Chains A and B, each alone.
Chain A
Amino acid sequence: MGIETFAYAAFFLTMALTYAVICLGLNLQWGQTGLFNVGIAAFVAVGAYASAILTTPPTPDRVGGFDLPILVGWAGALVASGLLALFIGWLTIRLRADYLAITTFGVAVLVQLAMLNLEGLTGGPFGIGFVPKPFESLQGDAIAFSFANLGVVILAVLAVYLFLERLVRSPWGRVLRAVREDEVAAQALGKNPMRLRIQAFAIGGAIMGLGGAVQAHFIGFIAPENYLPMLTFQVWAMLIVGGSGNNRGAILGAVLVWGVWAASAAVIEQLFPSGSQARAASLQIVLIGVALCVILMWRPQGILREIKTVSRHALGTVRNAGSR
Chain B
Amino acid sequence: MTLQILMNGLVAGSMIGLGAIGVTLTYSILRFPNFAHGELIAWGAYLALTVSALIGGAVGASMDPIGPFSFGWGLIIAFVLAMGLTGALALALDWLLFKRLRNQGAVMIIIVMASFGASMALRSALEFIYTAQPAYFTRELQIAMPLGGGVRATPDQLFAIGLTAALVFGIHLLLTRTPQGRAMRAVSENPSLASLVGVDVDQVIRLVWIMGAALACAAGVISGILVQIRPYMGFDLLLPLFAATILGGIGSVPGAIIGGLIVGIGEALAVQLVGAEWRAGAAFVILTAILIVRPTGIFGRA
Contact = CB atoms under 8 A, between A and B. Distances in A.
B145 interface: no
Interface stretch (B8-16, B122-130, B170-178, B179-187): B122-130
Interface string A105-116: 111011001001
A22 interface: no
B281 A101 contact: no
Nearest to B127: A282
A102 B109 CA distance: 12
A292 B119 CA distance: 11
A21 to B, nearest CB: 21
B108 interface: yes
B132 interface: yes
Contact of A98 (B108, B127, B292): B108
B262 interface: no
B239 A105 contact: yes
A105 B242 contact: yes
B287 to A, nearest CB: 6
Given A36-B109, A117-B278, A286 B121 contact: yes
Contact of A91 (B35, B113, B281, B292): B292
B112 A106 contact: no
A97 B109 contact: yes
Contact of B280 (A36, A101, A109, A290): A109
A107 B110 CA distance: 21
Interface stretch (A65-73, A164-172, A293-301): A293-301
**Chain A binding surface SS class:** helix
A105 B117 contact: no
Interface string B276-302: 011011011001100110010000000
B128 A236 contact: no
Given A101-B112, A282-B124, A285-B121, A113 B291 contact: no
A240 B113 contact: yes
A289 B112 contact: no
A30 to B, nearest CB: 8
Contacts of A107: 284
B239 A106 contact: yes
A306 B242 CA distance: 32
B113 A99 contact: no
Contact of A300 (B32, B106, B281): B106
Interface string A13-45: 000000000000000000000101010000000
Contact of B100 (A284, A290, A297): A297
B227 interface: no
A287 B114 CA distance: 14
B284 A106 contact: yes
A289 B124 contact: yes
Q: Which of B101, B118, B242 has the most chain A CB atoms inside 10 A of its CB?
A: B242
A227 to B, nearest CB: 15
Interface residues of A, number: 43
Contacts of B110: 296, 300
A103 B116 contact: no
A188 interface: no
Interface in A188-245: 229-230, 233, 236-237, 240
A95 interface: yes
Nearest to A112: B280
Contacts of B288: 91-92, 103, 106
Contact of A103 (B119, B235, B291): B291
A278 interface: yes
A277 to B, nearest CB: 12
B113 A98 contact: no
B283 to A, nearest CB: 7
B281 A103 contact: no
Interface string A259-292: 0000000000000000000110011111111101
Given A105-B238, A113-B277, A282-B124, 5 more contacts: A98-B108, A229-B120, A240-B113, A279-B127, A296-B110
Interface of A: 34, 36, 38, 91-92, 95-99, 101-103, 105-107, 109-110, 113, 116-117, 229-230, 233, 236-237, 240, 278-279, 282-290, 292-293, 296-297, 300
Interface of B: 32-33, 35, 97, 100-101, 104, 106, 108-110, 112-114, 116-125, 127-128, 131-132, 235, 238-239, 242-243, 246, 277-278, 280-281, 283-284, 287-288, 291-292, 295
26 contacts: A91-B291, A102-B33, A103-B288, A106-B242, A106-B284, A107-B284, A109-B284, A110-B280, A113-B277, A117-B278, A233-B117, A282-B124, A282-B125, A283-B124, A285-B124, A287-B121, A289-B117, A289-B124, A292-B114, A292-B117, A296-B101, A296-B113, A296-B114, A296-B117, A297-B100, A297-B114
